[in-house]
Copies of this chain bind each other. A is one copy, B any other.
């Protein structure tokens, strides 16, 4: 059996200008990066403003397990399948973070015969967007310390600077640092630290901005610190927003690549799915909608986190309305949700599938609660038995939803044509998207609504200080949506509770205001914003072979 990278290398790539041409984008309207990647020019995008938009399809999943679900693979396979049945479909996914590839085996863009290429570039520097975000973020950080160094006219309290630095690297030694040491020439000593670049609020902002002006406005609103008397200090107060926008000017333009079947894919942005909203950029999604009949996109983690944030943050703020939702499940993952250990996944266990399907059922009900038509995609594995597959289909049909077996991993778009036809059928109805909560609902009530109605929690707890902070933001920021930071492995805050747990409490430990991105983060557990490398990092084995090709990255 061929590996993902072998399949990717055997693919016949079309010149990226040909892919652009299929979307109606001229050769002068793209900015090529090599022959297989390009950015779509700002001017071209500006010219699309009044075009009608195609239909948006969200691919989400049951809660992730170590068995693997295949959300990106299904997104790519469905995109290819829609093209095969005569629709002009574009795939929109996130960019990969560089750092983690040197820790564990790299996160490719899809897998098997449903991939986006060139995968080597996409797992390394790609078109430099994340480097630009790193630079913009760290320029703001340097300007904060520089401001204090030169007299601190804004009266920033060095103990209350919340803006850390970022690096696109797994580097645990940078989590907590003391900087500004070495004497008066080096600024003011203080505690701080580094996050990984994808956790930067600048990343979330880039992914939610409508255009350059909106980008600059949002960057200016970033709150970096408080003064000694508790007033917020923004990036605009430091006059950093213009220079940050300059650093991000090119990065704001979405990246065009292709699937293995030479269909267009926009790969743009990658906010951390745990402390941010976890979906690709609004600009990419909107551009694709104006150039296609269908746009297939995905959101991070399972539907409790990914779809909820996609709908509650991205769709709400950008005015997007999905035409259909694909909920990805695998027999293996449902078995794990049903209590089977990873080592026993190879044996048939219909009972476990039925038990685990409670997870699927709750996600279906949640999604239908948004007024959205749903189809379940069963991402096929060779070990799945007919009885197990039937058990999944029974569970879905009990909710009035079809569950369709998909073989895009082994067969490419041809393996997902049935899914594509069901998506076509579902999206033929007028959109009925209803947000979970209105903008004017108080912040705490928004958190409770998500926890009880989506997660199925019995109650939500928070220390008085957390409630007080939410209260203090209510007047100025109460209209913002909430971005939940919770374990993706369970509906609850306990990663070991699989299936569809009930009666649990969600503890909100901390809240953070992302005034630039435009959401309030509610942290329910330990959230890691700077990963570390494992004992044997993948970097030890990564290198070039005799032909200059990359080994060990995949």
**A245 to B125, Cβ gap below 8 A?**
no
Is A131's CB within 8 Å of the partner chain B?
A: yes
**B171 to A175, Cβ gap below 8 A?**
no
**B139 to A169, Cβ gap below 8 A?**
yes
Given A35-B31, A543-B246, A544-B212, CB of A145 within 8 Å of CB of B125: no
Nearest chain B CB to A206's CB is how many angstroms away? 14
Measured CA separation A76–B514 after assembly (Å): 47
**B541 to A42, Cβ gap below 8 A?**
no
Is A340's CB within 8 Å of the partner chain B?
A: no
**B132 to A543, Cβ gap below 8 A?**
no
Is A34's CB within 8 Å of the partner chain B?
A: yes
Contacts of A138 in B (CB 8 A): 167, 169, 171
Is A146's CB within 8 Å of the partner chain B?
A: yes
Measured CA separation A543–B185 after assembly (Å): 28
Is A243's CB within 8 Å of the partner chain B?
A: yes
Q: What bracket does the count of chain A residues touching chain B fall in?
A: 35 or more
Is A143's CB within 8 Å of the partner chain B?
A: yes
Is A375's CB within 8 Å of the partner chain B?
A: no
Cβ contacts A21-42/B at 8 Å (1 or 0 each):
0000000100111110000001
Nearest chain B CB to A197's CB is how many angstroms away? 11
A387-407 at interface with B (beta carbon < 8 Å): none
**B539 to A139, Cβ gap below 8 A?**
yes
Contacts of A188 in B (CB 8 A): 173
Is A102's CB within 8 Å of the partner chain B?
A: yes
Which residue in chain B gives the minimum CB-CB distance to A126? B128
**A35 to B28, Cβ gap below 8 A?**
yes
**A544 to B216, Cβ gap below 8 A?**
yes
Is A250's CB within 8 Å of the partner chain B?
A: yes
Given A173-B180, A179-B177, CB of A135 within 8 Å of CB of B243: no
Measured CA separation A167–B548 after assembly (Å): 28
Is A479's CB within 8 Å of the partner chain B?
A: no
Which residue in chain B gives the minimum CB-CB distance to A167? B138
Contacts of A176 in B (CB 8 A): 179-182, 186
**A172 to B185, Cβ gap below 8 A?**
yes
Contacts of A186 in B (CB 8 A): 172-173, 175-176, 532
Measured CA separation A240–B185 after assembly (Å): 34
**A544 to B31, Cβ gap below 8 A?**
no
- Tell which of B135, B165, B172, B191 touches A125, judged by Cβ atoms closer than 8 Å: B135
Cβ contacts A127-145/B at 8 Å (1 or 0 each):
0100110110011011101
Cβ contacts A213-230/B at 8 Å (1 or 0 each):
000100000000000000
Provide 5 A-B residue pairs closer than 8 Å at the C-beta atoms, listed in order of the A residue. A125-B131, A135-B168, A145-B173, A172-B185, A246-B544
Cβ-closest 4 pairs across A and B? A242-B543, A176-B182, A131-B131, A145-B173
